[in-house]
Structure 1
């Protein structure tokens, strides 16, 4: 039995590191608020200039697929909200849709803008509220912004931040290559 103790200790550490690695880097504590927002960079979709869309990019152990607009999904608030990032390279335009827990239903929020931060090429983009049909007055489920660097055809990674009812939310995302 003593010979198995190091094996069990090692397996416990591996399991603990796996749990912390998966959850720890996705949790973003929000200073000064009552709750924490959770970020995730799970399965991803990407709208290509050549029109190829709708691919499943499932990552083992995670449930996100391409969003309803064939964009990249990130968590906001541990699954309470989701945000979907899409980009139109020709228009140099980024769009983020706020979705509900089901990752499909538009979920309008009372915000005039949210922030998009891209890591490479580095840029900050303020996305302004552009309500969709059916969004109540004074709220929006779609946010749009332009930046010349969004014209670069590549896979983007970054963070989407915003405030809902006084609580800040932040979600990390990363597009993945389709391998075509």
Structure 2
């Protein structure tokens, strides 16, 4: 009898321990899932549209594009009336201007097909010889639509490129 009581106790304790571990693992997974859901709900960096490359959340109401795995970001904006695109260069936080030593960056739009060279247009806070804003014109930018394409440039000898796709906004005409 004593032996059977000991065996029963060991089996019961083992089952209790295993069940407790499984519940703990499920709780851990739930916390992780909740954390990821929270990040997406707050519009963190992972909340991208179109193959994870761009989303509308920029400080200038443009589409943010990752450059270099989060090291840099660029924001695509367009003024249809001026047939003009402006691209801003930001750091990892997607809002702090980062002036770069470049005379121009390239914008490629897939529909309608166009290539636009955006020339450095330094902001007042940019140091001499560097720019965090680039501007270019093309008559096809006068077409009111959602654009998709690639923005590319070189920073300190390293090429950077990022794909983007604008999404319709409810708060303004695009």
The TM-score with structure 1 as length reference comes to: 0.65
**Matched residue, 2:110:** 119
Secondary structure of 1:43's partner? strand
Structure having greater relative contact order (Cα 8 Å, sep ≥ 6):
1
Deviation of residue 74 (structure 1)? Answer: 0.4
**Matched residue, 1:89:** 80
Map 1:37-56 to 2 at 5 A.
Answer: 40-44=52-56
Greater than 4 Å deviation, 4+ residue runs = none
For the 8 Å contact 1:113–1:127, the answer to whether it is kept is: yes
For residues 5-37 of structure 1, the C-alpha deviation after alignment (integer angstroms, 9 at most, x for no partner) is xxxxxxxxxxxxxxxxxxxxx9xxxxxxxxxxx
For residues 87-142 of structure 1, the C-alpha deviation after alignment (integer angstroms, 9 at most, x for no partner) is 00000000000001000000000000000000000000000000001101100000
Aligned residues: 122
For the 8 Å contact 1:40–1:171, the answer to whether it is kept is: no
Point out the structure with the larger helix share.
2
Q: Does 1:157 align with 2:169?
A: no
For the 8 Å contact 2:54–2:163, the answer to whether it is kept is: no
| Residues in 1 aligned to 2:135 and 2:169: alpha-carbon distance in whole angstroms | 25
Give ranges in structure 2 of 5+ residues lacking alignment. 1-47
Map 1:99-110 to 2 at 5 A.
Answer: 99-110=90-101
| Residues in 1 aligned to 2:54 and 2:155: alpha-carbon distance in whole angstroms | 22
Secondary structure of 2:144's partner? coil
Q: Which has the larger radius of gyration?
A: 2
| Residues in 1 aligned to 2:170 and 2:59: alpha-carbon distance in whole angstroms | 21
The TM-score with structure 2 as length reference comes to: 0.67
| Residues in 2 aligned to 1:121 and 1:173: alpha-carbon distance in whole angstroms | 15
**Matched residue, 1:166:** 157
CA separation of 1:40/1:141 partners in 2, compared to 1, >3 Å: closer, same or farther? farther
Secondary structure of 1:149's partner? helix
Computed over aligned residues only, the root mean square deviation of the Cα atoms, in angstroms, reads: 1.7
